[in-house]
Structure 1
Amino acid sequence: MTARRERSGRSRRSRPLSGRSVAVIGGGFGGLSAACYLADAGADVEILEKNEAVGGRASTLEAEGFRFDMGPSWYLMPDVFERFFEYFDRSPDDYYDLQRLNPHYRIFWKDGDRMDVTPDLDQVRAAFEAREAGAAEAFDDYLDKSADNYRRSMDGFVYTDRPNYRDWVDLDVMRAAPVGLQLLRTMDDYVSDFFDNPKLQQVMQYTLVFLGGAPQNTPAIYNMMSHVDFNMGVYYPDGGIGAVVDAFADLAGELGVTITTDAEVSEITRRREGFLVETVAGGEGEGRGKGEGESETRNPDIVVSDADYAHTEQELLPEHERGYSAEYWEDRTYAPSAFLLYLGVEGSVDPLEHHTLVLPTDWDPHFAQIFDEPAWPNDPAYYLCVPSATDDSVAPDGHSNLFALVPIAPGLDDSPEIRERYRDEVLADIADNTGVDLRDRIVFEKQFSVSDFADRYNATAGSALGLAHTLRQTSLFRPPHRSKAVPDLYFTGAFTTPGIGVPMCIVSGEHAANAVVSDHGRQPDATERDAGKSGAAGARRTVAKRLANGPLAGLSGLSGLFR
């Protein structure tokens, strides 16, 4: 970690939101991102966070010397983090240290086969070729297309918000037309054009779990995630994803954002000028001097909600100010929920790696039990995370911390009896398929599932992620950043564009802030415009340089995104 730099760019950028007050509901990555951009634009910003700390679904659990990331645990797409911090004349390494994992992850198949995905692509090619003749060449072809799709998609569809049909009549979109056409195919169809072996198809598709979809319902455009996986790499921030949350919160504080925890928003009322936002203390915060259930009110000019879109509309707004009906939300396809076990374990858990996938050779029945006929999976694909394999600080000496995540259908009944039965099944499955028997070595355990997602995060249907990236819920088919019914109300997070995942939520915060500035910002004078242009150009050059010389060296084509 480098010494923290003094910010040099604030004075040279215009402050179009000076005099405006903004309440950001929820301190997930979308809310933190939006708050930083809005404060930098001059707004008086307060984040109202329901729980005892910011982070949203990226919460941290600490108990008995163990520390767990409760939600996101993969640090992917480092260019997005670089881009975010660079806007504020910062760098991720001002706040946390990164290391690239090797292997990126290990896969155990339930027929006894095992494969490591490493930064060494020659090893990966050999592993592919060993499972299917000609697969090494197909792998290279697939990655070439994936890298090209990534560059086109990020520049044309991710970093540029296009909420209306007319926004798609654009030269950049026309150039990216071959990528856009992949919205009409599924990942299942696309991957099968390259590989016949079901295991190799799974390797190219497992990242769909980060998008909340299945191979049969996720657009083929998301093949770009293989470029993220194999070329860009999988990283670990020392301290876990919680350290990244802390970095965003620290930056927000440096920019003047007020963060108020233990403040659950219970009602949003539109007034003649601005809003009345009511909060109630949930009793989970510490040291705030408020009794459980005590209410407060705020009167911001603008509201940006990082809470689940459906929760904001259906629970916080009066019926006549909802942009979507209850039937609309009931008709959506939600990303999976999860059954999670956070485990503190005596001794080592070798041969589990930092990231480990345990997969049946046929995972279609599991996806069917998530999306088609909801049920607790009887032969699940699941994920194991062992941060203590990389970071000694997350577990006491002589112990390992581990969490197991089984994707399950949102809305399932997760009574204590069901959870306990399923917990035993998962631990037995781990022992049978990895050789690691945890059952007699567990010294700390916490379960988390559907009802916990709903209670802790106000998650619609108890989804762990939000709206799934299906064919009809991608890009402009997702709910927009601007409320359709309430002026001055905006949305950020996984329900909006670009979509699910920490990097996408970061970009979503930028889009929401841009919408606020577009609607409410005063026009800068000539001096401010000239300074802003030179500052933005300098930021793009610096990011391009970092990409060329930093952990992404060799991916020179990505620098074109910042020119």
Structure 2
Amino acid sequence: MTKKVSIIGSGFASLAASCYLAKNGYQVTIFEKNDGIGGRARQFKKDGFTFDMGPSWYWMPDVFDSFFTDFNKKTSDYYQLNKLNPAYKVFFNKDESITIEDTLEKIYAAFEIEESGSSVKLKKFIDHAQDNYNIAIKDLVYRPGVSPLELVTAKTIKKIGQFFSTISRDVRKEFKNEKLIQILEFPVLFLGAKPSDTPSFYSFMNYADFGLGTWQPRGGMFQVIKGMEQLALSLGVKIQTNANIEKIHILNKKVTSIKINGEVIDTDIVVSGADYHHSETLLEPEHRQYSENYWEKKTFAPSSLLFFVGFDKKLKNVHHHNLFFDVDFDAHAKDIYDEPKWPSEPLFYANFTSITDPETAPEGCENGFFLIPLAPGLKDTPALREEYFNKILSRFEEITNQSIRNNVLFKESFCVNDFIKDYNSYKGNAYGMANTLLQTAFLRPKLKSSKVEGLFFTGQLTVPGPGVPPSLISGKLVSGLIQKEHKL
């Protein structure tokens, strides 16, 4: 007998779950509160410019390949991928920068220029990181976080010490050059925690960075969303936008229906890919697994101040991805995690997809995406946004040695208030919950409700964690639990 599955949200995890469930015979409908799909990976268009609104780094291509392979498809059936060279550029001041290119040999050479002997140390570090990556992908991340025993394998036992050391400690033990240290600590920012709080095992992100490289779908990350949508529709998934979930109805501790825009719709199973905390507010208090106190004590990944900017000229001295580490890395991290406040001097990231993909901006123009990591829950005002735009624009002009302020055709911003309004994001976080030791694997919020039959969760607040590849995996994991417990 067919079972009806209602999925809340249309981000990567929700779309992935919908595909697996539909493939296995479930009647699946996705309900998206906004007017377009993609969740945080939505697309924004204006005056001939195209922007990805959220994720902009295509890392771990093997995870995307694995997803489409599960449906006898290839990524190339839906979008064209190009490996970026250089992958990204890191600016430390006007005169100092390091460019990360597209092969390990080139990266070893770049390190050796900065610190004699560092290439040998880096090779050893990356070898360990690759070993961790293979264990993570093959033994750990595709496990549903049900039991601590999932972490216990013959391979992980040998790595147990890496869960009690940190990325920062390991990197600083081998490398002395502060610029190289910052580059090696940078990838774990995708995991939403300070390098000094992230277990050593997560060095597998360094292999994802240097070993697997940085890729770009032609047309932007939203092309992946469109590909997944096309796959989902071909499998029979229905998608409704402008569909705001107001309530999840429970009877005898079992899901019975959902309320959408005032209408009650019967369903057998609910999967929420929306913010986990918000999803539980759709339940009566007695059906919630986690208290407000629980969420308050958790370490959340940062929020962000984003700017989408159209420039009327081509920019120079920059690449597709650019990191501006010309200020104190530790001070900014402290302003995010230890004493949350607007940073006095923020690090920031800028990408210009039009450099490698001219279709994303009008001819002779450039599209700019700027991101400043912030502590979640901060006061967010138009005046603060303007102040920080001016801060980073001034530094950008000085460091890249060009004037761009008078070439801004338009700018749109997105910050804490928007993450709350558009995504019901807890405290306006952008990346979910950090992967600290006490928030890893089975210690994260569960995929399956322990109080309500037929209620499941997916996405970056649950297993395996923040980021696009983990979200794809999360969708697969939750669909597996549903098929196991609600067989057709």
Which category describes the TM-score, using the shorter chain as reference length?
over 0.9
Counterpart of 2:210 in structure 1 is 230
Give me the whole-angstrom Cα distance separating, in 2, the residues matched to 1:386 and 1:166.
44
Asked if 1:443 corresponds to 2:409, the answer is yes
Q: Which moved more, 1:370-379 or 1:270-279?
A: 270-279
Asked if 1:350 corresponds to 2:316, the answer is yes
Deviations 1:130-162 (A, max 9, x none): 221210100110111111110011111112224
**Contact 2:327 2:347 (8 Å CA) reproduced:** no
Q: Which moved more, 1:188-197 or 1:461-470?
A: 188-197
Give me the whole-angstrom Cα distance separating, in 2, the residues matched to 1:47 and 1:299.
14
Counterpart of 1:127 in structure 2 is 110
Asked if 1:264 corresponds to 2:254, the answer is no
Cα root mean square deviation, aligned: 1.3
Report the residue type matching 1:81 in the other structure: F
Cα deviation for residue 402 of structure 1 reads: 0.6
Asked if 1:279 corresponds to 2:260, the answer is yes
Look up the SS of the partner of 2:195 in the other structure: coil
Look up the SS of the partner of 2:300 in the other structure: coil
Deviations 1:487-528 (A, max 9, x none): 110010001111000100000000000000110114xxxxxx
Deviations 1:198-257 (A, max 9, x none): 111111111122111111111111101111111111100001001000000010000000
Q: Which moved more, 1:115-124 or 1:482-491?
A: 115-124
Larger radius of gyration: 1
Give me the whole-angstrom Cα distance separating, in 1, the residues matched to 2:440 and 2:95.
37
Q: Which moved more, 1:37-46 or 1:266-275?
A: 266-275
1:461 counterpart (427, 451, 460): 427
Summarize the alignment of residues 282-293 of structure 1 with structure 2, pairs less than 5 Å apart: none
Counterpart of 2:125 in structure 1 is 142
Look up the SS of the partner of 2:406 in the other structure: coil
Asked if 1:382 corresponds to 2:363, the answer is no
Give me the whole-angstrom Cα distance separating, in 1, the residues matched to 2:328 and 2:177.
11
Report the residue type matching 2:407 in the other structure: R
**Contact 2:275 2:424 (8 Å CA) reproduced:** yes
Q: Which moved more, 1:94-103 or 1:196-205?
A: 196-205
Give me the whole-angstrom Cα distance separating, in 1, the residues matched to 2:255 and 2:350.
46
Give me the whole-angstrom Cα distance separating, in 2, the residues matched to 1:85 and 1:436.
43
**Contact 1:278 1:297 (8 Å CA) reproduced:** yes
Summarize the alignment of residues 93-492 of structure 1 with structure 2, pairs less than 5 Å apart: 93-110=76-93, 112-169=95-152, 173-272=153-252, 274-280=255-261, 295-313=262-280, 315-360=281-326, 362-492=328-458
Summarize the alignment of residues 28-39 of structure 1 with structure 2, pairs less than 5 Å apart: 28-39=11-22
Asked if 1:512 corresponds to 2:478, the answer is yes
Report the residue type matching 2:273 in the other structure: D
TM-score (norm 1): 0.85
Cα deviation for residue 27 of structure 1 reads: 0.5
Using the aligned pairs only, state the percent identity.
38
Report the residue type matching 1:213 in the other structure: A
Name the count of aligned residue pairs.
487
Cα deviation for residue 175 of structure 1 reads: 2.1
**Contact 1:64 1:444 (8 Å CA) reproduced:** no
Cα deviation for residue 166 of structure 1 reads: 3.9
Give me the whole-angstrom Cα distance separating, in 2, the residues matched to 1:361 and 1:378.
10
Give me the whole-angstrom Cα distance separating, in 2, the residues matched to 1:319 and 1:112.
57
Distance 1:337 1:136, change over 3 A: same
Deviations 1:309-332 (A, max 9, x none): 11111x211100000111001111
Stretches of structure 2 that go unaligned for 5 or more consecutive residues are none
2:37 counterpart (54, 60, 70): 54
Cα deviation for residue 111 of structure 1 reads: 6.0
Report the residue type matching 1:150 in the other structure: Y
**Contact 1:354 1:390 (8 Å CA) reproduced:** yes
Give me the whole-angstrom Cα distance separating, in 2, the residues matched to 1:228 and 1:120.
12
Give me the whole-angstrom Cα distance separating, in 2, the residues matched to 1:271 and 1:518.
22
Cα deviation for residue 40 of structure 1 reads: 0.7
Report the residue type matching 2:84 in the other structure: L
Give me the whole-angstrom Cα distance separating, in 1, the residues matched to 2:158 and 2:38.
36
Asked if 1:87 corresponds to 2:70, the answer is yes
Give me the whole-angstrom Cα distance separating, in 1, the residues matched to 2:193 and 2:399.
25
**Contact 1:212 1:336 (8 Å CA) reproduced:** yes
Look up the SS of the partner of 1:472 in the other structure: helix
**Contact 2:94 2:398 (8 Å CA) reproduced:** no
**Contact 1:67 1:395 (8 Å CA) reproduced:** yes
Cα deviation for residue 123 of structure 1 reads: 2.5
TM-score (norm 2): 0.97
Deviations 1:455-509 (A, max 9, x none): 1111111001111112211111101101121111001000111100010000000
Deviations 1:3-23 (A, max 9, x none): xxxxxxxxxxxxxxx511100
Give me the whole-angstrom Cα distance separating, in 2, the residues matched to 1:203 and 1:70.
24
Report the residue type matching 2:249 in the other structure: T
